[in-house]
Amino acid sequence: MSYKAFASDGFGFFKSNSVDPVSDEDLTPYPTYCEVCFWKCAGWAYVDKSGRIRKVIGNQNDPHCNGRLCPRGTGGVGMVYDEDRLKNPLIRETRTDGSQYFREATWEEALDKVANKMKEVKEKYGPEAFGLFNHGTPGGMLEHLLRAYGSESNAEPAFANCRGPRSSAFYSTFGAYVGSPENTDIRDTKCLVLIGSHIGENMHNSQVQEMSDAIDNGATIITVDPRLSTAASHSQYWLPIKPSTDIALLMAWIHVLINEGLYNKEYVEKYTFGLDYLKDHVKNMTPEWAYGITTIEPEMIRTTARAMASAAPSVVVHPGRHVVWYGDDTQRSRALAILNALLGSWGKRGGFYFPESVSVPKFPHPHYPEPEWTWKDWNDGKYPLATMGITTELLKASIPRYNYKHQVKAWMVAGTNLPLSMPDKPLFKEAAASVEFIMVMDTMPMDITGYADVVLPEATYLERYDVIRSAANREPNIALRMPAIEPMYNSKPGWWIAKQIGERLGLHDYFNYDDYSEVIDWQLKQLGTSLEEMKKIGVKKYPRKSGPLYLADNEDFTFNTNTGKIELYSTDFADHGFDAIPKYTKHPEPPQNFYRLIYGRAPMHTFSRTSNNHNLWDLMSENSVWVNPKVANLWQLKNGQEVWLKNQDGHITSFPVKVRVTERIRWDSVYMVHGFGHNNKKLSRAYGRGASDTEMITNVAVDPVMGGTGMRGNFITFLTEDPALEGKEVKA
C-alpha cells in the first residue's frame, strides 16, 4: 500500500499514532538537501513505518548547516504535506463567453501541448524566442532542456533583482565572485561590518551560525541600518543611517583609513592598484561631510573605522545579499569591496577565504546547439558588466511595443513567483499578456500559475532525485538528494518533466538515461564514490586542490583582473565609461506625507514561497507594516489596525496590512517583510494575508552598469479606509 493513502492529515485512522513522538530507531533516514531556500543545506528526511515523513534534520557533516537546519528547512515537511499543492497538470481553456478556467489534464496531454508549442516557436521565431525564468534546482533541469533545444534566453531574479551588483562589483575589484554561500570567514573574524545585511532576519544558515560563533569569540559587530534589525541589536555599534546615503558613509570610512594611515599598508602596497587615485578621490569625503548626509556622528564614523582597522585583516565588511536599492548599487558594492581591500581582508583568516568546489563531471550529451542570440543580446549593448540574464530585460523583450531587436515569444517559469518577485508589476502583467505561451512548473498554486497556459505539478525536493549539490566552501564537498517518499498526488520530478518534453522534441541524446539516479550514480563513480555510499553518508568532503584557504604572508598572488591586482581603481568600469571609483549621488527623498518603503526578510519564511506552508504559517501568517510611534500618532494609527498602502505612482495594495507601531523604524520610513499578500485563492492559508510590498515597487532605478533594478526609491502613504469602497485610484 503506498504512502498516498496516508497523505492527508485528516486520515483519522492514524490519528492516535501521529500524536506520540516516534523514537529515532523507528524512523528511516533518507539523505537530501533542502530546497526551501537557496542555501541548500544537506539533511536527513526521517520517514516512519507508515511511510510518512516525520521530520527533517540537518547533516552533521555539511558545512552549509553543520547539522542544524533553519526553521524553513525544519518546516520542509509542511511543503510536502500542504493540501493546497498542485496535484494534476492544468491547461487553460477559454469558454465561449470569453471567460477562462483551468481544467485538469493528463501528463500526456500537457506535455504534448508544451512540446508542440516549442516546435511551433522554433519554426516561426527560432528557439531563442523561448525564454526561461528560473531559480533553484527545478530550473536547472529546464535550463538543460532549453539549451538542448537551442535557447539560452534565461534569466534569474537572483541576479538583476537581488545580488547582481555585488557580483559585478567584486568581480571587477578582486577578479572573483562572492558566491553563495558567501566566502566570508565570519566564524574567525574579529570585526563584522554589516551594511545592507540583516543576518538573523535573513536566515542564511551557516552565516547566522558563524555570526553566533563570532559573538561567542567577542568579535566587534558594526551594523549600519536605518532600522534596528536583529543584527543591529546584537552589535556593539549600530549606525542608524539615513536611507540611500550609504555610499557617503563608505567613502568617509575609506577617507579615515587613508588619512589616519590605518589601512593595511603592506597588503595594499603588494596586492592593489590605484591607491593614489583613491587618495585623491576621497580627500574631501570627511566624516563631517558624511555626517551632513547620513546623520551619523563624525566621531562614530571615526570610531568604527578605527575598530575595523584594529581588527584587520580579520575583518569582514559583508557584501550583503539583496543589494538592488537605488540604481547606483554596483558603485556602492564597489565602495564596499574597496574598503575590504584597504583592510586587507581578502584572502585572510577572519576576512574572506578562497573557496573551492568539487567539479562534478557532466553526464555525456552532445554539444548544445549554438543559439543565434542569447540573454547577452537583449541588452543591446547596455549593462556591459552584467554576468547573467536580466529579468526585467527579458520582460521587456517579451513586449512588442518596446521594440527590442530580439523578441521573446514564450516562457517557461520554474521556482520563482514572478508577480511577487518582479518589481513594477504592471510591466510583468503586460509581458505575461504579450507572450503567446507560458508554461509554469511549480509545487504550489502560486500567483504565477494564474498566468500560465500549462501548469505542471512538480514533486517537492523530498520526493525526487536531483543534481548533485556542489557549492564552493572552505572544503570542497558534494551532497546527494534522493527521494524520501514517492511523489504525492500526480506530481513528477523536474528531471522527468524535462526528459519527457525533450523526447517529444527528438532530443533523446540529451537525456540518455531512464532514471536520474543513473546520472547521479555515473557522476558519483567519476568522483570516486557511488550512489550506495552517498545514500549512507549524504555529504562527502574532498581535499582541496587549489591551495590553502588563505594568502600566506607576503605570498605572491595574481588576481584575475586586468591589472593582475586588486583594483581600487576599476579599469573595467573606466573602460566602459563608468566612474572608476564610486561617487556619492543624492537620491530622491519621500515627499510630504509619504514614507520610504523598506522591505526585508523574516527568518521563518523564504520570500513568497513558504507563505502557505502550514508549519511556517503557524509561525508567521502575515506581514505587518512597521510604523514609528511619532508617525502613528500623526496618522492616528493604532497597533493592529488595518491600512491600505498607496505609493507615489498612485498604486494601491490589493489587500490591507496590519500596522505595527514600533520604535525600531525611523520616522521617515516604513518596513515590511516581503512575500505576503498572495492573490491566488487556491492558497487557502496565504490568500489575502498581509500585503504585497512588490505592488508598491513601481519606480525602478536601473543600474547602468549591470541592469540591476533598484527598488528602494518607492514611497508610500496610508489609506485607513478601504479604497475599493471609494472606487477610484489606480489599482496595483
Partner 1 sequence: MRYAMAIDTKKCVGCGDCVVACQTENNVPHGYCRDWIVESVDGTYPSLSLEFRSERCNHCDNSPCVRCCPTGASHVEEGGIVTVTHDKCIGCGACIESCPYDARYSHPEGYVDKCTFCLHRVQKGQQPACVKVCPTKCLHFGDLDDPNSDVSLAIKDRKWKVLAPEAGTDPQLYFLT
Partner 2 sequence: MKEELFVSGRNIPNIDPYLNIWHWQIPLYLFLGGLAAGILFFAGYYTVRGKADKMQTTVKWAPIIAPIALVLGLFALFLDLKHKLYFWQLYTTIRLESPMGWGAWTLMIITPISFIWVASYMKELVPGWNWKFSILEKFEAFVIKYRVALAWVMMIYSIILGVYTGILLSAFNARPLWNTSILGPLFLVSGFSTGLATIIWISKDAKERKVLSRIDLVFIIIEIFLIVHLFMGFLAGSQTAIEAANMFLGGPFTVSFWVFVVILGLVFPAVLETLELWGYHVPKWLPPVMILVGGFMFRFIMVEAGQITRYLY
Q: What is the closest distance, in whole angstroms, from the C-beta atom of residue 81 to partner 2 in the complex?
A: 18
Based on CB atoms, which residue is closest to partner 1, 153 or 205? 205
The strand pairing partners of 660, in sequence order, are 626
Q: Give the one residue of 51, 126, 600, 629 binding partner 2; rule: CB under 8 A.
A: 629
Q: Give the one residue of 88, 357, 621, 679 binding partner 2; rule: CB under 8 A.
A: 621
The strand ranges marked E within 240-290 are 272-273
DSSP assignment of 522-572: HHHHHTT--HHHHHHHSEEE---SS--SSPPTT-----SSSSSSEESS-HH
Q: What is the rounded distance in angstroms from the CA atom of residue 340 to the CA atom of residue 567?
A: 12
Residue 621 interface partner, choices partner 1, partner 2, none, CB cut-off 5-8 Å depending on type: partner 2
684 binds partner 2 (CB under 8 A): no
Based on CB atoms, which residue is closest to partner 2, 587 or 674? 674
Which residue's C-alpha cell is 522534441? 505
Residue 659 per-residue DSSP state: E
Q: What is the closest distance, in whole angstroms, from the C-beta atom of residue 664 to partner 2 in the complex?
A: 8
Are the beta carbons of 628 and 662 closer than 8 angstroms?
yes
Are the beta carbons of 431 and 150 closer than 8 angstroms?
no
Q: What is the closest distance, in whole angstroms, from the C-beta atom of residue 405 to partner 1 in the complex?
A: 47
DSSP assignment of 117-131: HHHHHHHHT-GGGEE
Q: Which stretch binds partner 2 (CB under 8 A): 29-37, 368-376, 401-409, 658-666?
A: 658-666
Q: What is the closest distance, in whole angstroms, from the C-beta atom of residue 41 to partner 2 in the complex?
A: 21
Q: What is the closest distance, in whole angstroms, from the C-beta atom of residue 690 to partner 2 in the complex?
A: 13
671 Cα distance to chain centroid: 19
Q: What is the closest distance, in whole angstroms, from the C-beta atom of residue 75 to partner 2 in the complex?
A: 12
Dihedral sign for Cα atoms in the order 108, 110, 114, 116: positive
Q: What is the rounded distance in angstroms from the CA atom of residue 319 to the CA atom of residue 332?
A: 10
604 binds partner 2 (CB under 8 A): yes
Based on CB atoms, which residue is closest to partner 2, 51 or 240? 240
What are the residues binding partner 1 (CB under 8 A)? Answer: 18-21, 23-24, 54-58, 65, 68-71, 74-75, 77, 200-201, 203, 205, 208-209, 211-212, 215-216, 228, 230, 232-234, 238, 240, 603-604, 614-616, 618-620, 628, 662-667
619 binds partner 2 (CB under 8 A): yes
Q: What is the closest distance, in whole angstroms, from the C-beta atom of residue 661 to partner 2 in the complex?
A: 8
Based on CB atoms, which residue is closest to partner 1, 274 or 603? 603
620 binds partner 2 (CB under 8 A): yes
Cell numbers representing residue 292 in the block: 551632513
Q: Give the one residue of 88, 212, 662, 684 binding partner 2; rule: CB under 8 A.
A: 662
Q: What is the closest distance, in whole angstroms, from the C-beta atom of residue 619 to partner 2 in the complex?
A: 5
66 binds partner 2 (CB under 8 A): no
Based on CB atoms, which residue is closest to partner 1, 198 or 348? 198
Cell numbers representing residue 98 in the block: 470569453
15 binds partner 2 (CB under 8 A): no
Output 361-365 pairs: Cβ under 8 A, ≥24 positions apart.
361/523, 361/526, 361/527, 363/512, 363/513, 363/519, 363/522, 363/523, 364/512, 365/148, 365/509, 365/510, 365/511, 365/512
Based on CB atoms, which residue is closest to partner 1, 129 or 604? 604
Residue 556 interface partner, choices partner 1, partner 2, none, CB cut-off 5-8 Å depending on type: none
The strand ranges marked E within 319-453 are 410-414, 437-442
Residue 163 per-residue DSSP state: I
**Positions in 18-57 near partner 2 (CB under 8 A):** none
User: Which residue ranges make up the site for partner 2 (CB under 8 A)?
Assistant: 604, 617-621, 629, 661-663
